[in-house]
């Protein structure tokens, strides 16, 4: 990647909010990073950070510079990828923002398949909360996004999507595992505690709207923003994870697998899993290649 030292230092401080953390990441002295940023501010004629007693916060000028700088970096990478392709090199870099559970499951499987035929494609995957994925697409931090969409955004194009039911994940040897539908009352009667996502995941909001927060809290053993942890604990028999049907489809037979049943209280409710890009930005060759493999994976989920 073609980057100036000043931009690299600025972007690291913007992400971490401090010279010290940026210094540790880059293995560069804090004083050197601070000097480069001060010179950059002098060249631009505006302060990029507000200096606080504990750290540094982007100023309005800094936020604008970061936004456009990240867009510019994506364009540089696209340009390099096109040049490489002109010379017969099937390579290039794309960036993908997704949620943790998808990164470990669907995305990992798709990339493994991709690299069997196109081993030189490089991918940078960042795991964030669902709500952050469209933001990263908008501000240029990621070329592609794969996440559950709570609402549509004017700046986003949906390249592929699938609607997934919400239900209960249980180990296959659980007494309710053979049922197609399970209610929260039935889980309580069998002494099966709930393993729930936190407020950063849309499923939690849907559950609270359907049955109330206090009712959920009485039967909840674990709350986590890690969907992978919920799935693993359900496999180990620690409780019932309330997730989409994506998890058991991807299941791990070597670990005993999971059963999926729709949750009575959310019957008919679905989550839209969508592959997205910025509508104003064309895909790089590497991005297009990754899109084709992820589209195939989403089509398989819809069958």
CATH number of the domain to which 250 belongs:
3.40.190.290
Examine residue 138 and state whether it is found in any structural domain, yes or no. Answer: yes
pLDDT tens-digit profile, the chain (303 residues) = 445 788 889 989 999 999 999 999 888 899 999 999 999 999 899 999 999 888 899 999 999 998 888 878 777 776 766 676 665 556 788 999 998 888 888 999 999 999 999 898 999 999 988 888 998 898 888 999 999 887 778 889 999 999 988 899 999 899 999 899 999 999 999 999 999 988 777 788 888 888 888 888 888 999 998 888 888 899 899 999 998 877 544 444 444 578 899 999 998 888 889 999 998 888 888 899 999 999 999 988 876
DSSP code for 157: E
Examine residue 79 and state whether it is found in any structural domain, yes or no. Answer: no
CATH number of the domain to which 133 belongs:
3.40.190.10
Do both 187 and 251 map to the same domain?
Answer: yes
Examine residue 71 and state whether it is found in any structural domain, yes or no. Answer: no
Question: What is 89-133 written as a DSSP string?
Answer: ---EEEEEEE-HHHIIIIIHHHHHHHHHH-TTEEEEEEE--TTHH
CATH number of the domain to which 24 belongs:
1.10.10.10
Examine residue 70 and state whether it is found in any structural domain, yes or no. Answer: no
Do both 9 and 24 map to the same domain?
Answer: yes
Query: Domain count of the chain?
Result: 3
Examine residue 69 and state whether it is found in any structural domain, yes or no. Answer: no
Question: What is 181-238 written as a DSSP string?
Answer: EE-HHHHHHTT--EEEE-TTSHHHHHHHHHH-HHHHHHTEEEEES-HHHHHHHHHTTS
């Amino acid at each position: 990647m073609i980057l100036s030292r000043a931009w690299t230092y600025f972007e690291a401080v913007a992400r971490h909010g401090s010279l010290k953390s940026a210094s540790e990441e880059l293995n560069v002295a804090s004083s050197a990073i601070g000097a480069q940023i001060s010179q950059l501010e002098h060249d631009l004629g505006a302060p990029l950070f507000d200096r606080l007693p504990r750290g540094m916060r982007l100023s309005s000028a800094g936020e604008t510079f970061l936004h456009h700088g990240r867009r510019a970096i994506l364009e540089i990478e696209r340009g390099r990828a096109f040049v490489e392709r002109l010379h017969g090199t099937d390579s290039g870099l794309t960036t993908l923002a997704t949620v943790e559970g998808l990164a470990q499951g669907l995305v990992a499987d798709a990339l493994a398949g991709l690299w069997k035929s196109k081993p030189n494609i490089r991918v940078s995957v960042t795991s964030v909360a669902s709500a952050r994925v469209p933001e990263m697409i908008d501000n240029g931090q990621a070329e592609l996004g794969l996440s559950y969409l709570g609402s549509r955004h004017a700046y986003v194009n949906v390249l592929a999507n699938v609607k997934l039911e919400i239900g209960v994940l249980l180990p296959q040897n659980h007494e309710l595992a053979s049922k197609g539908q399970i209610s929260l009352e039935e889980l309580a009667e069998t002494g099966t505690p709930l393993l729930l996502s936190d407020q950063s995941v849309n499923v939690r909001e849907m559950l609270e709207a359907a049955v109330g927060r206090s009712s959920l809290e009485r039967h909840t053993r674990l709350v986590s923003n890690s969907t992978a942890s919920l799935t693993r604990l359900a496999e180990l028999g620690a409780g019932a994870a309330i997730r989409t049907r994506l998890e058991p489809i991807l299941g791990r037979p070597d670990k005993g697998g999971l059963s999926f049943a729709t949750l009575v209280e959310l019957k008919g409710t679905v989550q839209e899993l969508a592959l997205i890009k910025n509508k104003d930005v064309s895909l790089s060759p590497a991005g297009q290649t990754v899109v084709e493999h992820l589209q195939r994976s989403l089509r398989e989920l819809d069958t």
